[in-house]
A and B are shown apart, each in its own frame.
Chain A
Amino acid sequence: MPSQERFLSGNLALAEGALAAGVDFYAGYPITPSSEIMEHLARELPKRGGTFLQAEDEIASVFMLIGASWAGARALTATSGPGFSLMQEGLGIAVMTETPLVVVDVMRLGPGTGQASKAGQGDLMQARWGRHGDQHLVVYAPTSAQDCFDLAVRAVNTAERLRVPVVLLSDELVAHTWERVRVPERVERAERTPFLGKGPPFHSDDPRVAPPMPALGEGHGVLMTGSTHDGRGRRFTSDPAVHRTLVTRLWDKVHLHRDDLAVVEEHGVEGAEVGVVAYGSAARAALGARELLQAEGVRLGVVVLKTLWPLPEGPIRRLAERVRAIVVPELSLGQLVLDVERVAAGRCPVHLLSKVGGGVPLYPSEIAAQVREVR
């Protein structure tokens, strides 16, 4: 596939990826460090026949996405910590109504308004579990501007294919770092299964297959509700069986696809004596640390997670079986480390390398020092 090499920031690459994937609706409210995504799409979408709306706040934004998606649009918004908190209600409704949409959260330091222009990785658990109730969505995390492009395409396609909201969890360092990006002429676009007037729009005999989705204005009489509903969309607010059937199917729809949703890089895992599991900007430092340590004869294996939910457990388990210890570098007080500990399940010690405050990146030398210590 022919491609063009461009010099883009993570945020610009992500916006370009969204356009390549066919995003034609954006509603959002500007917030550092995500605003360049909104600015770029405000310029570009109208030129391409798409719709751009500046909403009154983030709650409105995500609900506008739900409406647009049900009208047939490919919808995306971008925000950061405080805005992401406001969007949780709408994300829960999107899970329940099986609405394809993408929310980009460019992480900064919180809680509250925190340090607005500084990088953090403290939203991981919120991205996964921020809504009430039993629910499952998909979370991807880019490590570079190239990932921002590629995972934006993947996020839109996953949302459409599974009828599920997808969170693209970037961080300020990835968002504001400019690098070489190979932009292909065309990308693959997954389409949601259209509703042809037959069968239930909220049920599928195979839980791995998303039900066909009607579009508003096509003339189908469809009920849509955030309350518990049966396959036809009728509310059942007290029937235990209907609720269990629905939330189990919604959970399975994502969970049974965990292998093909997994985007993972494994570097030098075979023969490694120490391991690192990382995501986002911390993963770049981990790869730098691997290069530093190679020169000293230290064999470091690095697992880079670009899908954070459903968590790709296999690569973490394989690493834990091979190494003396695992280091988990995070720009937070430690969230991914909890999962790595759970998956490693005592096969080897797991150490958190936490750096938080001021948005200072994790550096390769810091990870290398921790690796030497636990080796």
Chain B
Amino acid sequence: MKDKPFAVVLSGIGGQGVLFAGRLLARAWFGQGREVALRYVYGAEVMGTAVHAEVVAADAPLLCPFPEAFDAALVLHQAALPEVLPRLSPGGLLLLDAEVEVPAAPSGVRVERRPFVLLAGGGPGDPGRASPLVALGFLARLGHVPLEALLGVASREPNAEENQAFLRRGHALE
């Protein structure tokens, strides 16, 4: 019996590196031989608007790569939250940056808050570039993707050492 596909959305605003982090996660799973689909979702192509990277991993070919609901969501900015909440699966995981306020989490959703933006070095007015990498590191700590797989794909990208440090920082979070 194959596990059902696991769908994650990384959400934030343009400029935070959400799409890059989505690609790292997708490549990490792909490198483990899983069937993976990654899709970028954005609005106007300007900095500061909501951006999402939707990633699905499965053990069998994905007939439809467009997830209707997410098993996990990593939200790094308030502006992206309204588009994510209605699509969280019951029993899903909502990983929020510490600054993101959620008025009422959907029932049955587990909410976790961590200072991803702060740990990415974001000061006042800084949206927290690389905060999605810190959040990815934490996702690895929760067991959804091996840290080594993320570090491996990050090693093949520019700024490898810096990005790997952000991933490790998230992984070290309690």
Contact = CB atoms under 8 A, between A and B. Distances in A.
Given A32-B45, A365-B68, A177 B37 contact: yes
A214 to B, nearest CB: 43
Contacts of A285: 64, 66
A7 B63 contact: no
A288 B40 CA distance: 20
A178 B26 contact: yes
B65 interface: yes
Interface in B15-50: 23, 26-27, 30, 35-45
Contacts of A365: 68
A180 interface: yes
Given A176-B40, A177-B38, A284 B66 contact: yes
A364 B64 CA distance: 8
Contacts of A179: 36-38, 62, 65
Given A177-B66, A364-B63, 17 more contacts: A7-B27, A7-B38, A9-B38, A32-B45, A116-B45, A177-B37, A177-B39, A177-B65, A178-B26, A178-B37, A179-B38, A281-B66, A284-B66, A287-B63, A287-B64, A288-B63, A359-B41
B138 to A, nearest CB: 23
Interface in A173-196: 173, 176-180
Contacts of B62: 179
Contacts of B40: 176
Contact of A364 (B38, B43, B68): B68
B71 to A, nearest CB: 16
B64 A284 contact: yes
A205 to B, nearest CB: 47
14 contacts: A7-B26, A7-B27, A9-B38, A173-B66, A177-B37, A177-B38, A178-B36, A179-B37, A180-B35, A284-B65, A287-B64, A361-B66, A363-B68, A365-B68
Contact of B63 (A284, A359, A361): A284
Interface string A286-320: 01101100000000000000000000000000000
Interface magnitude class on chain A: 20 to 34
B68 A7 contact: no
B64 A176 contact: no
Contacts of A359: 41
B interface bracket (residues with beta carbon within 8 Å of A): 20 to 34
A180 B30 contact: yes
Contacts of A363: 64, 66, 68
Interface in B55-84: 62-66, 68
A288 B64 contact: yes
Interface of B: 23, 26-27, 30, 35-45, 62-66, 68
Contacts of A173: 39, 66
Interface string A334-363: 000000000000000000000000010101
A178 B68 contact: no
Contacts of A178: 23, 26, 36-39
A179 B42 CA distance: 19
Nearest to B62: A179
Interface string A117-131: 100000000000000
Nearest to B42: A117
Contacts of B65: 144, 177, 179, 284
Contacts of B26: 7, 178
Contacts of B27: 7
Nearest to B64: A288
A244 B81 CA distance: 61
Contacts of B30: 7, 180
A363 B43 CA distance: 20
A284 to B, nearest CB: 5
A32 B43 CA distance: 11
A322 to B, nearest CB: 22
B23 to A, nearest CB: 8
A179 B144 CA distance: 20
Nearest to A144: B65
A268 to B, nearest CB: 12
Contacts of B64: 284-285, 287-288, 363-364
Interface in A156-204: 173, 176-180
A71 B26 CA distance: 42
Among B36, B41, B43, the one with the most A-chain Cβ atoms within 10 Å of its Cβ is B41
A177 B64 CA distance: 11
Nearest to B43: A117
The 7 A-B residue pairs with the shortest CB-CB distance in the complex, in nearest-first order: A288-B64, A361-B66, A178-B38, A287-B63, A284-B64, A363-B68, A177-B39
